[in-house]
Amino acid sequence: MNYLNAHFKTSTYIKRQWIGLFFGLLGATLMQFTFPVGDNVLLDLRQISIVLSISMGGSVAGIITTIIIMITRIILSPTIGLSAILGLVNAATLCIVASWIFSRKISFYRKWLYSGIALTIIAMISLSIVLGKNEIDKVFVFIIVESAATLFIFMLTRSLRKNNELFEKVSKEAQFDFLTGLYNPRAFEHKFEQLQHQETDMAHSLLFIDIDHFKKVNDEYGHPAGDAVLFQLANVIQQSIRSTDYGARKGGEEFAVWLEYCQLTEAKIIAETLRTNVEKKKFVLPDGKIIHITISIGIGMYPALLWDELLEKTDQALYEAKQQGRNRSCLAQF
């Protein structure tokens, strides 16, 4: 899904930046709630925000969170002593280790377990250096407090993660066609409404696509073969259009593509490229048999056509392509 991947990568990267910023501010806030464990030694739970950030936003988010925490630590320290230096080293080390752990192909629970162990070990080493052997009991008190807080955060994160996965699943089912992976008719209509409300004179083109003699495929080879053809055709559509275009399955063997900010000349080129790619494509059926299919395409464009007539005129153009012999594209009548 080239057009989906481009959007997904961009939005995901921005989302990770916001996650990093949020947990960075959380870590900076946690630094204000300290508790003493020795003479002139104050501890907090800022490290947990680093693990949280990485678990939800990856290494990019973790780096942003760590940088914010390190800057805050420097600002809050009147002098850069051993404790401050160890605090900076701890944050950087935990970010590196946790990023590596969460990049591994292991379960989410093991990632959290190993990160929690790493957090504990790093904190224990630092506290031992600052407090010395005589106050090792205070080290264990802090480790118990931090472990309890980490366990609580893990349980909360697990619950949020399950809810988020359920939401994404429902959202995906509401927008995408289960067979082809393209947008479904409801999402297609929503996109149409979005474009209408833009109130712009910029050109938008529309393709209506129909498989020629698709009923023969189902009748001769069976419906599983027909599903295989639909799935492979969706891939050809995705590979033939631009990354910014919006492909959808209207139903049955009918598809549509919104070509945003696309003049008619370019739309005709895209339509013909798609038609040619389908004609050359070897469609593999479940039993291994190879067949060839063709498609007919209707092409419409706004503002040459008003919104209230765009769908109807484009559909008429598709019908005209069928009437003229199929395996061709036709322009809507303006």
User: Which residue numbers are catalytic?
Assistant: 253
Whole-angstrom distance, CA of residue 117 vs CA of residue 90? 14
Bridge partners for 43 per DSSP? 35
The phi, psi pair for 64, rounded to 5°, reads -60, -45
The set of residues, in sequence order, having a beta carbon less than 8 Å from that of 183 and lying 6+ positions away, is 175, 176, 177, 191, 246, 247, 248, 249
Q: Which is it for strands 283-284 and 290-291: parallel, antiparallel or unpaired?
A: antiparallel
R_g of the chain, CA atoms, integer Å? 29
Residue 203 amino acid letter = A
CB atoms within 10 A of CB 167: 10
| Beta strand extents in the chain (DSSP E only) | 35-38, 41-43, 204-211, 246-251, 254-259, 283-284, 290-291, 295-302, 329-331
Q: Is 253 exposed, middle or buried (0-12, 13-18, 19+ CB in 10 A)?
A: buried
Tokens representing residue 196 in the block: 């209408």
Q: Please list the alpha-helical segments (H only) found in 176-222.
A: 185-196, 214-221
The phi, psi pair for 81, rounded to 5°, reads -100, -165
Closest C-alpha to 8, from 160, 200, 157, 175: 175
Tokens representing residue 32 in the block: 């204000």
Whole-angstrom distance, CA of residue 322 vs CA of residue 313? 14
Q: Which residue has the tokens 């162990």?
A: 117
Q: Are 298 and 320 in contact (CB under 8 A)?
A: yes
CB atoms within 10 A of CB 38: 17
